A and B are shown apart, each in its own frame.
Chain A
Amino acid sequence: MSIGTEDIIIEVKDVHYAYEEDGPHSLNGVSLRIKRGQKVAFMGANGCGKSTLFLCCNGIYRPDSGTILFNGKPVDYSKKGLLDLRSKVGIVFQDPDNQLFSASVYQEISFGPLNLGLPEDEVRKDIEQVIEYLEITPFCDRPAHALSGGQKKQVSIADILVMHPDVIILDEPAAALDAKHTKMVNQIVDRLADEGITILMATHDIDYALSWADEIVLMHEGKVLLQADPVTVCTNQEALEMTNQEEPAVLKLFDKLVKKGVLKENLRPPVSMGQLEQYIEHGV
C-alpha cells in the first residue's frame, strides 16, 4: 500500500442514485476521496444524501451510475464481493432500534463475526474484549428494551467494532443522546481513530466537526459542495448558509477578538474553545 496523499481507501466517482426509478435523485453526481486513517465529518441539511451515500459505500445500495472504489478497486457486486466489502466497511446506524435485532446484548454482538465465519471460541474472545473496551459490562446482561438510548448506542458500536472493519461509518451518533453520552460516544470514536480506523461521521454539530475532523465534506442536494480541512469549510460563509449550517461559535468569537485587536490577525483560526482560551491566556 502506498503512503501519503496517494493512500485513498474509498473513492466515489460521479455517483448517481435514486430510490425510485424516474424519481428524484438522492445522489446527484457525488465525487470524493477518503484517505486512509482520516476522521471525516459529513455535514449538510437533512435529506442531502449523507445516509444514502453511506449505504452506497458498503454496497447496500448499488449506484445507478458512477463507481465506488474501495482500496483502489471498483466494488464487486457479487455475493462474495459484497460480503468482503461489508466486512471492511461497517455502519453504525442512527437509530439503534433499527439495528439491534436481538434482545440479548451478547447475541447481538455475536451476529457479525459469526457471519464472517469465524470460529466460535475466537468470536467469544472478541465479544468479551469489545464488551470490556466499550464499557458495556455493567449492562451486558440486560435486555435491549431495558437499555437507555446511550447504552443502545454503545452496543450498536460494539456490533460493528467486533468485526474489526477498516472503515467505520457513524450516522449521526449523537442524535437523541444527552450530553454525557454524547461525550462518551465521542471518546469512543476518538479511540477508534487513534487505532487507525478510518472514520466517516455524519453530524449536525459544526463545533464538534471543527475540532474533531481532519476533513469536512459539505453535501448539498445530493452533491459534494465542498471537501476541505475544517477551518476552510467553516469559514466559507456562503457554503455554510447554503447547507443550513451556522458558523462555529469559536470562529465567530475569534473574529470579534481579532477585530477588537485583542488577538493578532496572523494567528491560525482556533478549532476549539480550549485553543482560543490558550491564545487569550498567552496574550498573543
Chain B
Amino acid sequence: MVKASDNSTAKLDTELRRGVVVLAVLSQLRTAQYGYSLRQALAERGMPIEEGTLYPLMRRLEGQGLLLSDWRIEDGPPRRYYKLSAKGTRLYAELTDSWHALVATMDKLVD
C-alpha cells in the first residue's frame, strides 16, 4: 500500500483504489455476506472501504443485477445478506481476467 505522504499523493492513491473497488467487493461476495461483515473482510485483507461508500455501492450493484440479497436471521439480529448473481459471477470472471492482464502490463511498465 502506498503511504500517502501528502495530500496529492493521498488523492491519487484513493483514485487508484477507486478503480478496483467493484472487483474487490465482487471477490468477497462469492459467499453471502452482510454489509458490516463484508467491510470487515475487505479491511482484514488490506482493502478498507468507507462504509458510506461501500453500503450504497452494494445496493447499486444489486440494482444492476450483479448481486442478490435477502434478509436472514443468523446468529444475531436480522441482516441483509448479499451474494453474486449469475450475471455478477460472469462479470467477476471477466473483470478478474482484465485485472490479471492489467497487472501483467503494469508490472512490465513499472519494473
Partners in one complex: no
**Chain B residues proximal to chain A, CB less than 8 Å:** none
